[in-house]
A and B are shown apart, each in its own frame.
Chain A
Amino acid sequence: MKVCLLGGNGYLGPWVVEELERSSDYSLRITDVKLPDRSPHETMHVDVSDLEQVRRAADGCDVIVNCSVLRPHRQLAWDVNTVGTYNAMRVATDLGHERIINTGPHFTITGEPYHTYDFGIVEEVPAHAGTDLYALSKSAGQEICRIFAEQVPIHVLCMLFLNFRSTDPDSPYGGRRGLIPFSVTFPDAARAIRCALEADVAKLPSRNEVFFVTADLPHGKYSNAKARRFLGWEPQDSLEMFYRRSLQP
């Protein structure tokens, strides 16, 4: 399976590359506005806000994994997070892809209106991103995915993250700062993407499905039960060290 990875050199992309390299089933085309210095894979400079560049990026590929993201810039956030997602959807449907993997922060669906007030938050809620630029521009992108999935025969698997942590205390993502109750390690996050690529889409409840990608956490705020059930994903890294008194240094 040839995978077109949009935003392949960002936070998550390199971990996805590392995960997919474990299998000979995948060949990769890594695309981004800034490419890795070295890569054994095909690379391509791609600005996702340009439809023709996305079309070239996905040409000959079987699936698109959209890891592209831009947070703070008032123009580029919409260009990348909203128009870029439209471009990925447009191209994937034009190419007749069976599925597309979209990614984003948790508040793509469950923004401040949920995150601030609620517990037991699940994926099956109407999207409310709040008015944060990053959240709302990603949410508009996912709304585009939902509309496409309603209209054309393509499965959207939307993988949502919030906080990336490392069990290595010397990592920038390690340390002993407080744990956000929607956290996962990069390797587990990448494994979730692979599970989304390999899941039997015929068994999904609909053509547009959202998954929370978080470690097993006892807070009762978010749950990974849906990703476990439908994708067969099981986080392998425990984050107990961040919330158990007995494991504190």
Chain B
Amino acid sequence: MKVLLTGATSALGKAVAKSLRRRHRLRLTDRRRLRTDDEFVQSQLGHGRQTDDLVAGMKAIVHIPGPAVAASADAATWIDTCTRCTYNLLVAAVDAGVKHLVYVTSLDAFMGYDPDFLVSTSWRPRPTTEPAVMAPLLGEFVTREFAQTAQIRLTILRLGHLVDADGIGDDDELDPMAIDPRDAANGVAATLVGDDGSRTYRLFHLQGDFEGARFPIGGGRQQLDVKLQYDFGRPRGERT
């Protein structure tokens, strides 16, 4: 299957590309250049013909939204890249007959809940006004309108924080929202493998599965059929 991957220069994007290329033919894109053996098109996801050309011939799009350099981006850039650019991508995708968009975002919008709560996909996001937390959720807001009006199938995958398991020792403090980038990437890949086209909208949460993990992911993982391989040397979590 031909798949377009946005945000390809990000750490997650690189991991996702590596996972997807086992099964799919990839076209990568990002605001910045990337040296890769895959097909790559630099794009700002504007509303012009370049975005139409970018999505042409694709069966699915994996969209990792956000600024080119997240750490230094201001609020306007966060909001713009997550809303307008996502809209542009979707308008072009619908026009080109792309069947499926996977929107990859974050579990950060759920950190406001009591850590004792077993927060799942059936809980309402409660983002802070921090642009890096709020803007990706606004992007979700945009994508859902396209799915609800049946213009494209949509999968939203909310991920924990990327933490390289190889860099974490048994005694190191571990982010309770950690997920190894390779597991995250396999989760993204699973959204394409497990999509039989029967559902217009799917929503998954995915983070590492270890004792003390912040969010339960049982339902999402089972539906995604992804085996998490990296437990950061911790005991596995409860099957909630």
Contacts and interface: CB of A to CB of B under 8 A. Distances in A.
Contacts of B3: none
A18 B4 CA distance: 53
A128 B150 CA distance: 13
A143 B88 contact: no
Given A83-B76, A83-B80, A74 B88 contact: yes
Contacts of A137: 83-84, 87
Contact of A131 (B46, B128, B129, B149): B149
Contact of B87 (A78, A83, A113, A151): A78
A86 B129 CA distance: 10
Contact of A128 (B75, B138, B148): B148
B149 A112 contact: yes
A144 B88 CA distance: 20
Contacts of A113: 148-149
Interface string B69-103: 00000111001100110011011000000000000
Contacts of A129: 145
Interface-central residue, A49, A112, A144, A152, by most chain B CB under 10 Å: A144
Query: Which residue of B128, B134, B142 has the most chain A CB atoms within 10 A of its CB atom?
Result: B142
B126 interface: yes
B83 A82 contact: yes
State the main secondary structure of chain A at its contact with B: helix
A128 B145 contact: yes
B54 to A, nearest CB: 15
A55 interface: no
A129 B146 CA distance: 10
A140 interface: yes
Interface of B: 46-47, 74-76, 79-80, 83-84, 87-88, 90-91, 126-129, 134, 137-138, 141-142, 145-146, 148-149, 151
Interface of A: 49, 51, 74-75, 78-79, 82-83, 86-87, 89-90, 93, 111-113, 127-131, 133, 136-137, 139-140, 143-144, 147-148, 150-152
18 contacts: A51-B76, A74-B47, A74-B88, A78-B84, A79-B80, A83-B79, A89-B129, A93-B129, A111-B145, A129-B145, A131-B145, A140-B138, A140-B141, A140-B142, A143-B138, A144-B134, A147-B127, A147-B134
